[in-house]
Amino acid sequence: MIEFESPFGILGKLVDRLLMARYLATLVRERNRVIKAEAER
């Protein structure tokens, strides 16, 4: 689990909900996929 909080108060919370949560989840999944592929070589 990744915990994060954007700055800028309410605007930051809106960005977190709309964009950042999905972006970070995708980033972590892709990173894990690459690491696994390299480890299995």
Q: How far apart are CA 34 and CA 14, in angstroms?
A: 30
How long is the chain? 41
Question: Per the domain annotation, does 18 fall within a domain?
Answer: yes
**Global confidence as pTM:** 0.68
Domain range enclosing 38: 8-41
1 inside domain: no
**Residue 3 is assigned to a structural domain of this protein:** no
pLDDT at 21: 86
39 lies in a domain? yes
Number of DSSP helices (H) and strands (E) in the chain, helices first:
2, 0
Q: What is the number of domains present in the chain?
A: 1
2: in domain: no
Report d(CA 27, CA 31) in Å as an integer. 6
- Indicate whether 27 belongs to any domain: yes
Give per-residue pLDDT as tens, 1-41.
778 888 999 999 998 888 998 999 999 999 999 999 999 99
On whether residue 37 sits in a domain, the answer given is yes
